[in-house]
Chain A
């Protein structure tokens, strides 16, 4: 909220400096957001008098002026303004002055061969208004002020303070409320309101409320025989400081009372009304064109102000376009009503309509200020527009009952952490308008709808006392070294992340939401935003891969040759969110090198290597994993697989991405990828630190190689499993170390060589033992059609 310093001082009698005021505002929770002095840009401009005006020798539409701005010598100025004439007093910018409205700095110049120094300015050039038809013409009395800074002459030296009002403080959505808070904080005295009632005669208008739920009170009066026109300078200046554009006196008065007191009002042109006004619920489908010229379709939960012809006001939010006041208005009905905050909030949300009035009503205006509000407005109308006012009709009753809170001043220390004396607490609360009785029963002022309990009272006390006064107090702390706090899942995730980074992958963070197009190859998303920020960020990702594919492509576009990215994040499926690690490898696996020649592409084995490394770090029982297919349709059908602990317990899927997927998502050149499903990894329960006792085998392990010719489509791991199964006691490991495919083996055949580790336990293996073992291995392998290679 913005207001000028002079406006604030109309309510606050203070000697405080501007800095003291702005710092105090922030200290008490009315955060300073900006501070501007419109005079700053206008300081170099001076009140100046045209002492000579004559024709320009070379141009019909230009004049040659001699201008006295109080300097020793008058300035010669070439001027194109039609209203420039001798003896006129205006605003002069000497050479070197920056013209804010035109964004340039004046320099001496020759205009049509005649030298010109400085400029007589229009209102638009000084950003004081829209007028650019001629230069500013000051009152003739301004001649006495020639040479004075225009900013001083016109009282423009009035800083504008901009503060943020938190949603609980509707009482500070008027300048007077801000002044009250500052006074309570010791920065001056709140100047009492002028309580003079305006002169009233004649019956009040026919106003009623048929909607005590939405509009419990509707006060109204008329002023007839008035003349609308421009509002006075002081009011225009204040409205401008608040960022409001002056329109006409009647509109300006309603805006002014709202900004001054936080009290929204509405003014109807009586000549446009058809009989009395009633606050009622709207009829479903009822339409109204509001002051913003938009048509709103209302429903029966919304309150309107209507006459016999229909609704003219979305109660408490925005008036109708048809019945507002105009320059020609001679009789008005002033509405000062109380609208129920919750109803206003719902109506505003439904209509997606915000307004200054809605902001105030939905936060709760002072229900005890209706009489003051309508009197202040009436008095301003009478003062500025003349006419005569009717009595006030008061329909309904505003909810003015005051909350009372049992307070214990000791709570200030117990919750606020700062010891403030009882007397000081009482002083603060009373300055804020609370009343405190001898038993510390505290009555909340009607304008503080936000104060409910003793905690709020502690806040009032400490915010005025200053949060700086709260001493830092260490938390209670257990003796000794801090206990570990991370859960097994958190530890597994941390280790997995570090392992992925250690294995050469770069961690990235991509959006949780992707486009429908990106989600489609991954089964589409269940969770699609109703109000996405764009179509690209719409669907909660069912997989981490689309985001990684997009990131990979962005890097490829920037010329990256080898892209290794991973992300730790969630997949969002119908029932729940799954912590997942996704990784993508694109571009060159090994760069071309003097040792290995041309660059190699990543293949599915690279993905598998990363997956196993990460799974191991995350504590998965890697030795027990089974290779399965069915990695998903987004993978290459022949170059992808899953690693599982059982048919349904999938720990990871990896492989080359399906060319259709990379093509659809715009990743050129293909890529391999993987996803590790962290929540499928069995949680390792920590049970002490003891390891099993170390018992190295007494006998040396023996290694034997077997080469088998098998069908080309036999999975290597099937053969390894068969070999291991030949003697589960003796064989401790078996590993494929050679793969050979060649015509010599026969069509559809390949050779797999397996290195088998044997660990004798009781005695060194004899030739007979080894022969028996070999027979068992060959027999076991032969069940898969494997023949020992000769």
Chain B
């Protein structure tokens, strides 16, 4: 074994033994520094004969390379150890709770209103609104409910001492139907009485002087109105079926229309939806004729009464269509399973956190309107 091999092995041993960066640097300087032992050996090559150089050159260069590689490897190892040691001191107890970032929520009534808007937009309906403090004309008379009409007694109306320009007391709308009147009158005015197709829904707050387990003096209703040429009850039936199936996201929902009476529609129908029982809870859809199944009333509807169309300044011989009205709170209860209407208006955070919706639960047709 030549000297050079011994020198190399000595340094490699020292590199391996270097405990930290400083020790390693000392080895580097001793071996490869300007006056390092291997550096000096390299310089001796110049004075050698070509034959000697041919035999010693590779040996010395090999030794230099081996030591340099070892130093680099050792340097990485030392740095890595140092980092690991440092990291070891930085351990966090990640079982501790992070800073609170409170989640907010959207009320089920708003969520359902957005769902309705989405479904009906696909059918070409826009959303219309109107005042809640209404006058007698829009809430009753224009809807074919004159002041002596017995149907008025069914409305439990809230009145104000203030009167309108006809001297009738102002009132809180008892249904969203006045929005029908306002929409049709706007169209009649805009078109000079010629009319144009109307496809709207009108969700909003409504009021009746009624308060018990299933009635609150304020509640939410959605009105639907279609006015066009050649619209008939078959279209009404299809629209309601399509809406209910889209809303509850089930295809096995059956509707049952029953003749009924509303002064502002002729013919009129109340609409029942079939339910079944799944896991002990009533679910809209399924076999309504099964033992546990049945029908529940969900909305009132009919073909808009010609007097109503006429009252709005449109020609009932040209324009006809249908209207329906449905409780939004009830739709929410049937879809999402709340059992107490009064809780909707209490603001109980526990209820809100249970039944509320994430801000990002925006109903979409592609994702399904239910959240």
Contact = CB atoms under 8 A, between A and B. Distances in A.
B261 A168 contact: yes
B35 interface: no
Q: From B97, B109, B124, name the one whose CB has the most chain A CB atoms within 10 angstroms.
A: B124
Interface in B223-247: 226, 228, 230-239, 241-242
B218 interface: yes
A475 B169 contact: no
B107 A507 contact: yes
A542 to B, nearest CB: 13
Q: From B104, B107, B131, B236, name the one whose CB has the most chain A CB atoms within 10 angstroms.
A: B104
Interface size class of A (residues with CB under 8 A): 35 or more
A485 interface: yes
Contacts of A106: none
Q: Chain B at the A interface: mostly helix, strand, loop or mixed?
A: mixed
A231 interface: no
A633 to B, nearest CB: 25
B234 A418 contact: yes
A346 interface: yes
B132 A570 contact: yes
A595 interface: yes
B320 A415 contact: yes
Nearest to B272: A26
A484 B238 CA distance: 22
A167 interface: yes
A593 B349 contact: no
Contact of B267 (A346, A463, A537, A548): A463
Interface in B167-224: 169-170, 172, 205, 207, 209-211, 217-218
Nearest to B353: A506
Nearest to B120: A485
A318 B21 CA distance: 112
B158 A529 contact: yes
A361 B139 CA distance: 25
Contacts of B109: 509
Interface stretch (A433-441, A557-565, A695-703): A557-565
A28 B257 CA distance: 10
A359 B105 CA distance: 48
Interface stretch (A128-136, A211-219, A497-505): A497-505
A470 B237 contact: yes
A548 B107 CA distance: 14
Given A473-B232, A482-B122, A483-B124, A591 B133 contact: no
B107 to A, nearest CB: 4
B125 interface: yes
A501 B104 contact: yes
A508 interface: yes
Given A168-B261, A477-B124, A497-B110, A472 B238 contact: yes
Contacts of A101: none
Contacts of B232: 413-417, 473
Nearest to B351: A508
A645 to B, nearest CB: 24
Given A29-B259, A459-B267, A472-B234, A564 B102 contact: yes
Interface string A471-493: 11111111000111111001000
B233 A577 contact: no
Interface stretch (A87-95, A510-518, A715-723, A777-785): A510-518
Nearest to A493: B110
Given A415-B233, A590-B100, A531 B158 contact: yes
A54 interface: no
Contacts of A502: 104, 359-360
Given A470-B257, A555-B348, A533 B233 contact: no
A474 B172 CA distance: 35
B336 interface: no
Given A27-B258, A497-B106, A527-B162, A563 B123 contact: no
A512 B233 contact: no
A552 B305 CA distance: 46
B83 interface: no
Given A167-B150, A470-B257, A485-B125, A500 B102 contact: no
Interface in B78-128: 96-97, 99-107, 109-110, 114, 117, 121-127
A190 interface: no
Interface in B129-151: 131-133, 147-151
A455 interface: yes
A505 B347 CA distance: 12
Nearest to B220: A509
B352 interface: yes
Contacts of A27: 258-259
A462 interface: yes
Contacts of B158: 529-533
B356 interface: yes
B37 interface: no
Given A463-B267, A512-B218, A529-B160, A507 B102 contact: no
B269 interface: yes
Contact of A551 (B101, B209, B347): B347
Nearest to A459: B267
Contact of B133 (A29, A568, A577): A577
Contact of B106 (A459, A498, A572, A591): A498
A455 B211 contact: no
A576 B260 CA distance: 36
A564 B234 contact: no
Contacts of A532: 158
Contacts of A594: 96-97
A342 B148 contact: yes
B362 interface: yes
B224 to A, nearest CB: 11
B237 A530 contact: no
Contact of B258 (A29, A537, A552): A29
B235 A572 contact: no
A501 B358 contact: yes
B162 A455 contact: no
Contacts of B147: 345-346
B256 interface: yes
Given A470-B237, A507-B107, A498 B267 contact: no
B259 A511 contact: no
Contacts of B209: 531, 533
A528 B106 contact: no
A729 interface: no
B346 interface: yes
B270 interface: yes
B252 to A, nearest CB: 15
Interface in A521-537: 527-533, 537
B110 A507 contact: yes
23 contacts: A31-B258, A168-B261, A414-B232, A415-B320, A467-B269, A473-B234, A475-B239, A498-B362, A504-B103, A506-B349, A511-B218, A527-B133, A527-B160, A528-B160, A533-B209, A540-B133, A555-B348, A555-B349, A558-B348, A564-B102, A565-B349, A568-B110, A594-B96
Q: Which 7 A-B pairs have the closest CB atoms?
A: A417-B234, A551-B347, A29-B259, A473-B234, A166-B261, A459-B267, A485-B126
Interface of B: 96-97, 99-107, 109-110, 114, 117, 121-127, 131-133, 147-151, 153-154, 158-162, 169-170, 172, 205, 207, 209-211, 217-218, 226, 228, 230-239, 241-242, 256-261, 263, 266-270, 303, 305-306, 320, 344-350, 352-353, 356-360, 362
